[in-house]
Structure 1
Amino acid sequence: MSYWDKKILREQLDKKILPLRKAVESGATSFGWIKAIREALGMSTSQLGKRVGIDQSRISRLENSEVDGNIKLSSLQNIARGLGMEFVYGFVPRGTLDDMVRDQARKIAMVRMKRLNHTMALELQELSDEDKKNALKDMVDKILIDNPKDFWSK
């Protein structure tokens, strides 16, 4: 897949992820989504357990597991069905996917620029600040287009 194809894919995914960003910004409840929704619906752990096909004590353990971050996705899917809801699972980047890729390319370029600057200084051909800035931008663009196999290894 070419750089441009990946860029379009990142842009499309960023559009799909955007609504999830609002959920991340609002934050999770301190006692977990299962318990928050169950209580908001006025449903007891026993009632939810019957809807899911497990006992009340297991519902309580699942609520605690969710808060601890030790719950299985399959358990969350079962609970969602029992609550009459859809389970949504996703990843939300802190910025955009394109920003993440560009930042990684910039890290690689900075390492390369450091070596280049050292070599140029030894040869008394050090670049001006403006030339360094332009060279860094060009290097980032080249790294993005070339897509080296070790791109995410550094």
Structure 2
Amino acid sequence: MNTKQQILARKHLEKRLVGVRKLELAVPPRGWMRAIREALGMSTRQLAERMGVSPSRVPTIEKAEVTGGTTIKTLREAAEAMNCTFVYTFVPVKPLDEILEDRAKEKARKDIARLDHTMKLENQALRRTDLQDEQQRLINGYLAGSPRQLWDN
């Protein structure tokens, strides 16, 4: 995927994430599966029957949901058995472009620190403004190129 396609893909993904970012979901302490099942007045036996599993399996799945030890497939099956839609998503803590910009700044800072150290050792230290200019040039270069280069250490 070329750079223009990546930028376009990020923009489309950001549009999809707008609604999700606005959600303030507080996970029920005993998990979504149990909360929905109980709200529907469904017993573990009834849910197990609808899922096609043994009745002892439902409490095990409910506990595993809370601890993070279940699979997406199992949660999807439980949701379907309760006439629910299972939703799974990653929600970036800030817009994707900001994450890339922050990473470019971090990488440029490290690069400039190494450069500055080397130049000082050679008694050729650069002025602070020159270092800042070079750092901004690096940031712009990282952001103009492939985002893959940002994630190499």
The answer to whether the Cα contact below 8 Å between 2:76 and 2:86 also exists between their aligned partners in 1 is: yes
Q: Does 1:14 align with 2:14?
A: yes
- The one-letter code of the counterpart of 2:9 is L
Cα deviation, 1:5-35, whole Å, max 9, x if unaligned, reads 2122112212212222234x33211110101
- The one-letter code of the counterpart of 1:38 is R
TM-score scaled by structure 2?
A: 0.85
Partner SS state of residue 151, structure 1: helix
The answer to whether the Cα contact below 8 Å between 1:105 and 1:151 also exists between their aligned partners in 2 is: yes
- Match of 2:100? 101
Take 2:147 and 2:44, find their aligned partners in 1: how far apart are those partners?
52
Take 2:144 and 2:2, find their aligned partners in 1: how far apart are those partners?
8
Q: What is the percentage of aligned positions where both structures have the same residue?
A: 34
Unaligned stretches of 5+ residues in structure 1: none
- Match of 1:46? 45
The answer to whether the Cα contact below 8 Å between 2:108 and 2:135 also exists between their aligned partners in 1 is: yes
- The one-letter code of the counterpart of 2:66 is V
How far off is 1:148 after superposition? 7.0
Alignment of 1:109-128 (within 5 A): 109-121=108-120, 122-124=122-124, 126-128=126-128
Q: How many aligned residue pairs are there?
A: 152
TM-score scaled by structure 1?
A: 0.85
Cα deviation, 1:77-110, whole Å, max 9, x if unaligned, reads 1101101112111111111111222222222211
How far off is 1:149 after superposition? 5.2
Take 1:119 and 1:53, find their aligned partners in 2: how far apart are those partners?
66
- The one-letter code of the counterpart of 2:127 is L
The answer to whether the Cα contact below 8 Å between 1:34 and 1:79 also exists between their aligned partners in 2 is: yes
Take 2:101 and 2:125, find their aligned partners in 1: how far apart are those partners?
28
Take 1:55 and 1:148, find their aligned partners in 2: how far apart are those partners?
48
How far off is 1:135 after superposition? 2.7
Highest RCO, 1 vs 2 (Cα 8 Å, sep ≥ 6): 1
How far off is 1:36 after superposition? 0.9
